Chain A
Amino acid sequence: METIVDVRNLYVKYSTGTVALEDVSFTLEHPTFTAVIGPNGSGKTTLLRTLLGLVKPTKGSVRVMGIDPSKQSSQIRRLAAYIPQRKSIDYNIPIKVKDVVLMGRLAKKAVPRIAGRRDIDAAEKSLRLLGLEDCWDRPFPELSGGQQQRVLVARALASEARLMLLDEPLSGADVESQYVILDLLKDLRENSNVDILIVTHDLNPCHPYIDNAILLNRRLYGYGEPCNLMRLDILSKVYGPNVRLITHEGHVYAVIGDIHA
């Protein structure tokens, strides 16, 4: 088994004094589809950004495929694809769907970043896998929220990464798009040797798809198979006393009263 992510005693403190992550340790072994869950402000995004070298650890060590992202971020970025959270993308920029999908590949090329046959083939194939082959020439701002989210997944897919880091890939997506995205991610993990780490505030839709979940609220509160984490004693520490559990088709789901608590 190959270690994909190895995080040890990670602390991240921002210059504003906010402690985003405190003594977080876990490892992910290949192959994996893992979800990081936790309430808003629990450090989930900071964790992803640290893995990409966009944030430097204050203390502790991080290795991604054996590479230290704070020192060799460019190597990580060649191997990983990333979808940031919705709010960091400007959905009004006049740009075609094909340009968004090609972006992930062209960003890794040299100026003038001309798309070759291979780039276009990979982009078309990715869009097809997300069921949007008809949207190639359409303006990105005119798509629905779910379609836009699928295009962003296609962008990550087209860049042929070994590791995909997705920050809230299901937010703003309709139910159909959520399942298109989850099916595809599961297929990638099973058939294409791609490891996947997603961040989500809502574990329920992902639950049947993922291998492991990481329960985060600045500290690590749990790590393991999702059903094993769905325990009132663990969840109430993170989400407060309003958590309820429901069992359906052999999986345990959490109903969280107020996710912004």
Chain B
Amino acid sequence: MPDPLTMIFMHPFLQRALIALALTSMISATSGTFTVLRGLSFMPSAVAHAALGGAALAIYLQSSGLVPFLNPASGALLFSLIVAVVTGYVGERGTTSRMEVAVGVTFAMAMSIAVFFMHYIPAEYTPQIWGYLIGDIYLLTVSDLILLSLASSTMTILTIIFLKEFTYLSFDMEGLSAHGLDVRLYHYLLVTASSLAIAVATKAVGAILVYAVMVAPAAAAGEWGKTVTSVSLWSFTIAFTMQMAGLVSSMLWNTSPSAVAGILASLIYIGTILKKRKV
């Protein structure tokens, strides 16, 4: 068996996977970091499951001939946008606890919709829905990659431009609002852009593992980073290396790439917490 490096050169699907994991790591560094800082770490998970519900609805409408031009990705984006807007609306005054409830309820609603429509979807389409649930970095098409690079670069550019605003928002929404900052604008910008990016990443990572791959790296980095920038860069590094390890392990031992990445990233978080406790 050839070594992993040669395999990557030989197989385009592996090259696509490599690009995808760099792009999803960028989303972890931006959306992941700020949802953790904002106390909304549960949101990426909810958004990903909403994407699944949206995809199920879109597949139903498409396969039943009601709206033939609708594709699963647009359904996924629409539903994740709904989660973002509901969460954003509830969180306008910055109360995290109420936002968590909104996240949970929209999560449950989207999953219920997914289960509801799966019953009516012809069997040959169900693998597409499972794709959103488990995710498969090896099954990405070129157009998936284009969408993913669009999402991750937009999120990265927004974060670079509005790093101060997003940080201020997480630190003291009320106080900065009184200092004249348009907190509502940046609040909605952050939750909607993050949600859309995560919805796009769901096809690669899978709704179940979004938390492990996108949030756990940011949560671990948040435990030791001294500035938001360093948290974000560390989050990228962890997400990228762990996903890389997942990829290599899948080539060598035929394991699931995002599962291994998820286990490793979670272990890093747990290790960080334990080490901090000892000091």
Contacts and interface: CB of A to CB of B under 8 A. Distances in A.
Nearest to A113: B164
A52 B161 contact: no
- Chain A interface mostly: mixed
A236 interface: no
A74 interface: yes
Contact of A88 (B161, B172, B181): B172
Question: By CB atoms of chain A within 10 A, which of B39, B164, B167, B179 has the most?
Answer: B179
A54 B164 contact: no
Nearest to B229: A94
A90 B172 contact: yes
A84 B172 contact: yes
Nearest to A88: B174
Interface in A78-104: 78, 80-84, 88-90, 93-96, 99-100, 103-104
Chain B contact surface mostly: helix
A84 B170 CA distance: 14
B225 A94 contact: yes
A159 interface: yes
Nearest to B175: A84
B176 interface: yes
A240 interface: no
Nearest to B177: A54
A159 B227 contact: no
A153 to B, nearest CB: 12
A109 B162 CA distance: 13
Q: How large is the interface on B (under 10, 10 to 19, 20 to 34, 35 or more residues)?
A: 20 to 34
Contact of B168 (A77, A81, A94, A107): A107
Interface string B215-251: 0000000100111101100000000000000000000
B162 A111 contact: yes
Contact of A103 (B161, B168, B225): B168
A82 B179 contact: yes
Contacts of B116: none
Nearest to A77: B180
B142 interface: no
A52 B171 contact: no
Nearest to B186: A111
B228 A54 contact: no
A95 B167 contact: yes
A94 B234 CA distance: 13
A108 interface: yes
B171 A100 contact: yes
B38 to A, nearest CB: 8
Contacts of A90: 37, 39, 170-172
Contacts of B37: 90, 93-94
Nearest to A52: B178
Interface of A: 52, 54, 74, 77-78, 80-84, 88-90, 93-96, 99-100, 103-104, 106-108, 111-113, 139, 152, 159, 165
Interface of B: 37, 39, 94, 161-162, 164-165, 167-168, 170-181, 222, 225-228, 230-231
Given A82-B178, A90-B37, A93-B167, 20 more contacts: A54-B178, A74-B180, A81-B178, A89-B175, A90-B39, A90-B172, A93-B37, A93-B228, A94-B37, A95-B171, A95-B227, A96-B226, A96-B227, A100-B171, A103-B168, A111-B161, A111-B162, A112-B164, A152-B175, A165-B178
4 tightest Cβ-Cβ pairs between the two chains A and B:
A82-B178, A77-B180, A107-B179, A107-B181
